[in-house]
C-alpha cells in the first residue's frame, strides 16, 4: 500500500473555513469517483512542520493507493470527470505545495483516527529491519502506523508514524511532531 502525500497552503486572503470547505468537497467527490486503485482520500489541517510556512494554516492530503500503477489513475482521476470542478476550485485558492510518496511498512491505526504524526529519520548504519524494530520498541502497544518515503520524493523526513496519541521518540530519531485535524 502506498500514499501520495501532498502538503499545501492557501494564498493570502483566503479564509481557512472557505479553503477547508472546498477541500472537503473535493475529497468527498474524489473518494466517490471510483478511481482504480484509490483506497482512501482525506485531508488534515496540520500543526507546525519545517517544510510548510509557519504564518498560516497548512494542509496534508493523503491519497492511499494500492500500488504505483494506481498513482497514474489517481493523477488522472483527480482532475477529470466529477472531480475536475472541485479540484479547480481548491487549486485556484492554493498558493504552493509539495508532495511525496510513502509506503506503509506496518501498522494498525486508520488514517482517519490519527491525531498525531511524528516524522523521524533513520540514521546511517543500521539496517532497515533493525530500525523498524527500534521504532516498534518506542511505539510499544500504542495504535500506530509506520510509513516510509519512497524514491526520495518529498521534503519530509524519511518516516512518518501516525498515532491516535502523541508518541515521544528519543532525540536520536530527530522527531518532528505535528497534530492532525481531519477535514470533514
Per-residue model confidence as pLDDT tens digits over 84-107: 999 999 999 999 999 999 999 999
Give the pLDDT of residue 152.
86
Look at the alpha carbons of 23, 115, 50, 157 in this order and tell me if their dihedral is positive or negative.
negative
Q: Give the alpha-carbon dihedral of 125, 100, 69, 162, to 10 degrees.
A: 80
Q: b vs e for 72-102, b when ≥16 Cβ sit within 10 Å of the residue's Cβ? A: ebbeebbeeeebeebbeebeebbeeeeebbb
Q: How many CB atoms lie within 10 A of CB 121?
A: 15
Cell digits of residue 160: 512518518
Question: What pLDDT, in 10s, does the model give residues 9-54?
Answer: 999 999 999 999 999 999 999 999 999 999 999 999 999 899 998 8
Over residues 122-141, mean pLDDT: 95
Q: What is the mean pLDDT of residues 152-180?
A: 95
The domains found in the chain, sorted by start residue, are: 2-182 (3.30.70.100)
What residues have CB less than 8 Å from 80, skipping those under 6 apart?
none
- Lookup result for grid cell 473535493: 26
User: pTM score, two decimals?
Assistant: 0.94
Q: What stretch of H or E contains 101?
A: strand 94-107
Provide the percentage of residues in the chain whose pLDDT is more than 70. Answer: 100
3-class DSSP state of 136: helix
Amino acid at each position: 500500500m502506498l500514499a501520495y502525500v501532498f502538503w499545501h497552503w492557501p494564498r493570502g486572503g483566503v479564509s481557512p473555513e472557505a479553503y477547508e470547505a472546498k477541500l472537503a468537497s473535493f475529497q468527498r467527490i474524489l473518494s466517490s469517483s471510483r478511481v482504480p486503485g484509490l483506497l482512501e482520500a482525506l485531508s488534515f489541517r496540520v500543526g507546525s512542520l519545517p517544510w510548510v510556512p509557519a504564518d498560516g494554516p497548512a494542509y496534508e492530503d493523503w491519497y492511499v493507493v494500492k500500488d504505483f500503477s494506481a498513482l497514474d489513475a489517481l493523477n488522472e482521476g483527480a482532475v477529470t470527470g466529477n472531480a475536475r470542478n472541485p479540484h479547480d476550485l481548491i487549486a485556484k485558492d492554493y498558493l504552493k505545495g509539495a508532495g511525496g510518496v510513502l509506503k506503509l511498512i506496518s501498522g494498525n491505526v486508520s488514517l482517519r483516527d490519527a491525531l498525531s504524526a511524528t516524522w523521524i529519520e533513520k540514521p546511517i548504519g543500521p539496517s532497515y529491519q533493525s530500525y523498524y524494530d527500534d521504532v516498534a520498541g518506542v511505539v510499544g502497544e500504542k495504535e500506530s502506523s509506520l510509513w516510509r518515503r519512497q524514491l526520495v520524493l518529498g521534503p519530509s523526513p524519511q518516516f512518518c508514524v501516525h498515532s491516535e496519541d502523541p508518541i515521544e521518540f528519543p532525540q536520536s530519531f530527530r522527531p518532528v511532531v505535528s497534530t492532525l485535524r481531519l477535514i470533514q
